[in-house]
Amino acid sequence: MSSFSHPPDYLIQGVLAGNRRVLARTITLFESRNPDHLRLAAQVLQGLAPHGGNALRLGITGVPGVGKSTLIEGLGLHLVERGHRVAVLAVDPSSRVSQGSIMGDKTRMEELSRRTDAFVRPSPSGGTLGGVAARTREAMVACEAAGFDVILVETVGVGQSETAVKGMVDFFLLLMLTGAGDELQGIKRGIMELADVVAITKADGENRELAERARKAYENALALFRFDREVPVLTTSALNGEGLAPLLDSLFRLYEADKATGALFNRRKAQQVDWFWELVEEGLLDRFRYAPKVASLMDETLAGVEKGEVFPGHAARKLLDRFTDEGG
Amino acid sequence: MSSFSHPPDYLIQGVLAGNRRVLARTITLFESRNPDHLRLAAQVLQGLAPHGGNALRLGITGVPGVGKSTLIEGLGLHLVERGHRVAVLAVDPSSRVSQGSIMGDKTRMEELSRRTDAFVRPSPSGGTLGGVAARTREAMVACEAAGFDVILVETVGVGQSETAVKGMVDFFLLLMLTGAGDELQGIKRGIMELADVVAITKADGENRELAERARKAYENALALFRFDREVPVLTTSALNGEGLAPLLDSLFRLYEADKATGALFNRRKAQQVDWFWELVEEGLLDRFRYAPKVASLMDETLAGVEKGEVFPGHAARKLLDRFTDEGG
């Protein structure tokens, strides 16, 4: 990757100037696991970080078939029309497997991709959820530094990735289909409770009435489940564009309100600290797991714990002592 | 605590014989943080562990005022009548603070406490949630070894402790009040999604109709939110005993079904392994946090991360390297 022989300043300045090609290269650098690139990436990131933070960060999720990318493209085009600059990123740890991953299909969001005020980036391929999420966070900082003021982070409706995305966005939009049948089975426990706004998709044609009924049902259900804030439920159609403007309005209302009270700023500060601790935890577990003196006992230990022969507390203490060389 | 000068076998045999006084002493031993007691506790626990596991383990939660202890006492008496032996334990990390903690009031569950087939134990006082939860798990093993075949684990409706209890019980019973007003504000995000059974309490007198309406509302809401299993919603009255028998029936139906399919066994195996990893994580974080070479940099690091001056990834890597003495 010869482009990375540029000094960090070339990338930093290019991103700050809003150059989409340099932005794309910079994100590719962030995604590289090549040890030579890590130091450069760190320098570039450190240079960009002070220029990040000026965007509405929105997580968007929903099961496959809910019409996620069509809706995101619709929202993106609307936003561009309103004078915003929109970046679309994705967190999809399954994208290394070939099963219909998000934005894997190159024909998706074609129209939005062509706009100069939009930037569409598929999920980094490969890696653990933690790795993919970390690289998406870094990409988000780069996009913000490049002047994009709305970041849409797309994710698959499988639970774990939503929790990861919740830690990097300001708000979460949950897309739902009409009908309470099999289509809904894919939504995992807990996702409903992450949502700040719910949108029923494909509310057009014959589906319109059903969508309105679903909207009311979710509104009632959410009133019973969610006491931390009122969760707007809207119907939308990417086909005819209905509902997209009210959806954006309600998102910007939340954004402006939380900016005014300072809640947004405080949440982001807490997200940074949480992220630090997540990385510490992940790093500690990695180093623990792969320490030879621990690894050599792991299979045996886990088997004993599973069978109930060894109490988890004793097993944990024993391995921890080996790891830190205390007692034993 | 002179009683702990007994050899471990005295405690083990006493518990296995179902002696409630020895059981109480054993649990007190488990709760002791005295280093001299830790080794004895480990021996006793290891001796009891193979005799645990033969109980229906039920977590019970609900906001203060929902009538938790009255309902638990009612359920307990019913169970004893049916020939069961019932132990009631509590996880309440707030009990060190004097604010109306669960089972703090000694007059509570008076009638149940007097039954020879029941054992009521308040929450261990003091300590972190993790510590309290660990000691409750250990107490649970002791109760099972003593022949109690239903363990009720009471917890406060504050979110974190429910997650901890979920990891040690087979099923979760959520108690709810009628009326969708202020009384409900205390239930935290996520708790509804942990429930396997929901019971509306105080469904008596004038409240009866309201309770039935609440029951239907929750049933509808849960059908939209929960796809992993059907969640029964029942109305109960501890005052006149109505609904208690059906509630127990539905819990035992779940228990028998999950035993028959092996789901119960597999879940418990997974809980043991999860618990091991939780303890490893907790232990790693503790040792990391208190390592002098880490602790000396922590305030400065967190301040930089909060202000956005240092990227969490770099801060984490730097401290991890110091902890494990790699690079630096």
| Residue of chain B whose alpha carbon sits nearest to that of A45 | B311
pLDDT at position B126 is: 67
CB contact under 8 A, B227 and A280: no
The answer to whether residue B186 scores a pLDDT higher than 60 is no
Q: Please answer whether residues A87 and A121 qualify as being in contact, where contact means their C-beta atoms are separated by less than 8 angstroms.
A: yes
Distant-in-sequence, close-in-space partners of A93: CB < 8 Å, separation ≥ 6 = A123, A127, A128, A129, A132, A160, A161
Of all residues in chain B, the one with the smallest CA distance to A182 is B227
Lowest mean pLDDT among A56-60, A212-216, B290-294: A212-216
Mean pLDDT on B226-244: 88
Contact call for residues B208 and B200 (beta carbons, < 8 A): no
Determine, for residues B190 and A192 on separate chains, whether the beta-carbon distance falls below 8 Å: no
What is the DSSP code string of B255-308? HHHHHHHSHHHHHHHHHHHHHHHHHHHHHHHHHHHH-HHHHHHHHHHHHHHHHT
Q: What average pLDDT does this structure show over A245-259? A: 96
For the segment A45-73, the average pLDDT, to the nearest whole number, is 90
Q: pLDDT at position A223, please?
A: 80
Comparing A97-101, A253-257, A310-314, the range with the smallest average pLDDT is: A97-101
ipTM: 0.78
Q: Please indicate whether residue B35 or residue B171 has the higher confidence score (pLDDT).
A: B171
B90-138 pLDDT per residue, tens: 887 665 444 445 555 544 788 999 999 999 998 777 667 777 788 899 9
**pLDDT at residue number B265:** 93
Inform me whether the pLDDT recorded for A328 exceeds 60: no
SS3 category, A327: coil
Q: Do A285 and B280 touch (CB under 8 A)?
A: yes
Chosen for mutation from A311, A317, A319 (greatest number of chain B CBs closer than 10 Å) is A311
Contacts of B63 (CB under 8 A, 6+ apart): B157, B177, B183, B184, B186, B187
Residue range B22-49: mean pLDDT, rounded = 90
- Top-ranked range on mean pLDDT: pick from A68-72, A176-180, A260-264, B190-194: A260-264
Provide the pLDDT for residue B325: 80
Q: Is B28 exposed, middle or buried (0-12, 13-18, 19+ CB in 10 A)?
A: middle
Look at residue B96 in the predicted model and tell me its pLDDT.
45
Cβ-Cβ contacts under 8 Å between A and B: the total is 150
State both tokens at B251: 């819990």
Give the range with max mean pLDDT: B88-102, B205-219, B247-261: B247-261
Residue of A190, A227, A302 with shortest CB distance to B185:
A227
Average pLDDT of A75-93? 92
Average pLDDT, chain B: 86
pLDDT digits (tens, 9 = 90+) for A93-138: 665 444 445 555 544 788 998 999 999 998 777 667 777 788 899 9
Chain B residues whose CB is inside 8 A of the A200 CB are none
State yes or no: pLDDT of B254 exceeds 60: yes
Q: For residue A131, what pLDDT is reported?
A: 75
The pLDDT tens digits for B6-29 are 789 999 999 999 999 999 999 999
Alpha carbon separation from B11 to B24, B87, B113, B215 (Å, rounded): 10, 18, 22, 46
Residue A153 has a pLDDT of: 94
- Residue B196 is classified by DSSP as S
Domains of chain B: 1-50 (1.20.5.170), 52-260 (3.40.50.300), 272-325 (1.10.287.130)
| B311's tokens | 């990227």
Distance (Å, whole) CA A41 – CA A168: 20
Among the partner-chain residues A46, A192, A320, the one whose CB lies closest to the CB of B280 is: A320
Q: Which residue has the tokens 């014959």?
A: A206
Within 8 A by CB and 6+ apart from A265, the residues are A259
d(C-alpha A25, C-alpha A30), whole Å: 9
User: What band does A327 get if pLDDT is binned at 50, 70 and 90?
Assistant: very low
pLDDT value of residue A251: 97
Average pLDDT (B281-301) is: 94
pLDDT at A9 exceeding the cut of 80: yes
**A288-293 contact pairs (CB < 8 A, 24+):** A288/A319, A288/A320, A288/A323, A288/B280, A288/B284, A291/A322, A291/A323, A293/A322, A293/A323
Instruction: List the beta bridge partners of residue B156.
Output: B62
- Give me the pLDDT at residue B179, please: 65
Number of C-beta neighbours around residue A106 at 10 A: 9
A interface test, pick of B177, B280, B288, B300 with most A CB neighbours within 10 Å: B280
Q: What is the pLDDT of residue B242?
A: 94
Q: What is the mean pLDDT of chain A?
A: 86
**Nearest CB to A228; choose among B189, B272, B301:** B189
Band of the pLDDT at B252, cuts 50, 70, 90? very high
Render pLDDT for B140-185 as a digit per residue (tens, 0 to 9).
999 999 999 999 999 876 667 777 888 899 999 999 888 645 445 4
Q: How far apart are CA A97 and CA A103, in angstroms?
A: 13
Has residue A150 got a pLDDT over 60? Answer: yes
Of A134, A192, A281, the CB nearest to B225: A192
Partner residue opposite B228 with nearest CB, options A189, A225, A316: A189
Measured N-to-C along each axis, helices B20-31 and B35-48 cross at an angle, to the nearest 10 degrees, of 130
For residue B4, pLDDT over 80 is answered with: no
Block residue for tokens 């944990």: A316
pLDDT in tens, A18-47: 999 999 999 999 988 888 888 899 899 989
Work out whether strand B150-156 and strand B56-62 pair parallel, antiparallel, or are unpaired.
parallel
Percentage of the residues of chain B whose pLDDT score is greater than 70: 87
